[in-house]
Structure 1
Amino acid sequence: MSTAEFPEVSVMDEVFDLHAILQPDEIEWAMKARTFAQTHIRPVIEDDFDKKYFRKELIPLIAEQGFLGMHLKGYGCAGASAVSYGLVCLETEAVDSGWRTFISVMGSLAMSAIYKYGTEEQKNYWLPQMAKGEKLGCFGLTEPQGGSDPANMLTTATRVGETWVINGAKRWIGLATLADLAIIWAMTDEGVRGFIVPTDTPGFTATAIDGKLSMRASIQCEIELDNVTVPADAILPGAKGLSGPFGCLNEARYGIIWGAMGAARACLDAAIIRSKEREVFGKPIGSFQLTQAKLADMTLEYEKGVLLALHIGRQKDAGTLNLAQISVGKLNSVREALKIAREARTILGGDGITGEFPVMRHMANLESVRTYEGTDEIHQLVVGRALTGLNAFS
């Protein structure tokens, strides 16, 4: 059974029955996302991944669904709950991590930065256009030498009269070659500050990174900033210090907690279906004890991961979320999703390495998801600091 033929209803729907513990509006968002992803992305994603093609023509359709900045209130955004947003991430990443990443870069990073830290004028100008997909944004934090250490920021912004002059470089920036604006974080005399930089500003250059073996159906870029000059009011006044970008990163990490479980579910579905079709020694491999043990163990970790995501989402909606829990969730979801993908591949046998099944694509994508928005090691140290009160970062 090819990827395009997998049923839209997950095998896990009946076994897990997640909807039994969701609210009607949450189920509505989840089903809207599933229908869109299965209808518009799944039939073409293997080909897009193979050809390194980002299907940007889907962006207006995604915007029509209300997914862009959906967790923000006002300014043309849907104002949905954190749990609803998480479910959209899960259903989108069940098809491909790159498309959940697109929704995250737009809503959790670029739009959230303006929403959290911008002026009313900035919000009213940019957010409605971004919610409609008319303007695309990117988030320029990571630098070539910095990686997990944004405090080692070399990009600078210098005040010159009524302007800011920005110089530096960023790397692994999603959507930068397509974006109309970039949220650029730079070191100033006052510490790290954020700026809204239109990408047509002279000196701003974005170049797509080629040679990727992961996230091939999406765009990640390098940015060069050579005396990029923006007006004084381009600064995000509410963001001072690294707490500014970290506030946005936590929004993106939250979406990953749900999204990685979507990739895990897709791999598990593929393994379950194939186990009933593939025969060895005269009977389906799903009838062997070892195969059923693998499926049971994968299901256990998937359900635990989704329940953890739901717990964190409920806390987020209630305003009681302990930020260390975001690290717990991101660490667990991606790590367990990768284990599920690898175990699912064993059930598929040699065919599991082909594009006939989605498992190797998800596995490759999850390696990127494991790295961005904080590596395993960073999140382990965040949790360790919360437990001991001692900082092991330096």
Structure 2
Amino acid sequence: MFVIHGERRRRGLSFKSKLSYWLLACLAVGAVLIGHDLFRGGTQPVQKTVPISEDKPVPPENGESKAAVKSLDDLVTQYGELPLFDAHNHDAGDSKYVGMKEIWERNRVDRIILFGNVSEPSAVWTDEIAWDAYRKQPDVIIPFFSGVNLLEPSGVDHAREMLEKGFFGIGEVAAASSYSPALSKVTWKTKDPMDGVLPQIYELCAKYKAPILLHIDPPNGIGIQKFKEALELYPDTLFIFAHANAYNSPENIRELLAAYPNVYADFFAGFTAFNPESANKLKDFIPVMKQFPDRFVLSTDSGYGLKNEEQAIEGMYRLIDELGDKEIARKNAHDNLYTMIRNQPATATQLEAIRKLNKQKVQTFPTEKLTKWEAGKRLTAN
């Protein structure tokens, strides 16, 4: 009826009136349709085809967009059979090592190069703490010493006494430091790796086949130039470049290792893995490690600049995982450093002490070709 009635009325209307009529009619119909949609709960969205972005791949059907990140426990389970040797640890300071034993055992850290403070008088005291820790756990703790006056001849005499006693290396020592909050102001630091009595100490290290762990910052400029001079002038000395990857590039390390066969890179994996100030990722160093598999050692630096030391241990495991080669990982994580320790000959002081023990016992201990490692274990057992 509505249509028929409207049709009759439109016959006598002007064009303008007809147009107004039709507009009103359209509005009325639209209102009815909108009301119908509102009653149903609102209009339905228009379905559009969204193009796939090239940098945002479609997630797999199971909803996982990427592989789950391995936890430290996962990494220890996967790689815990590999021996792990921390090449740079300050936990003799305040006897922190006592509280670390459970963490080391849980994360299967087998051996630790232990010292304390660096290149200052207080380091003499922390060196003795490291020695005491070694006597209690000779299979786990490997003592280095850092309490050496690098500016006076007395420092050479003291270094000789400590190596004779049975310490396995010197360091960490501040051979050059401009920016380190910890070492730039220490009392016994040198200007560069050829300053003070460092040259005489390098000769001493060569005699005892004991490595020296050098802190050099920044890893460029005059400090590195003088380091290269030392590497060239003392080819029989084993140098370890402390935390070589910190604020340094893989290419700089590659150039150093290629030119000088007597230098080893101490790799502080936690710095590269977790410190936001690192300009590199762990993967950036892998090609250099594979090119020089016998020239890297891994360390925690006691977690310096990180959340804690356990995070630094995690960094070591993440590097092992990134390497993807268990043979090279074993060299970096243990064998390269262990070889340096095991190859040191027993000292005259150690041999004399063993001879005295032999006189007191029915069963004697042979001293021919005895190593410092073997002599130390014998002496710490008594």
Q: State the TM-score bracket (shorter-chain normalisation).
A: under 0.3
Scaled by the length of structure 1, the TM-score of the pair is: 0.26
TM-score for the superposition, normalised by structure 2: 0.27
**Larger Rg: 1 or 2?**
2
Q: Which has the higher contact order (CA 8 A, sep 6+)?
A: 1
Considering fraction of residues, name the structure with more strand.
Answer: 1
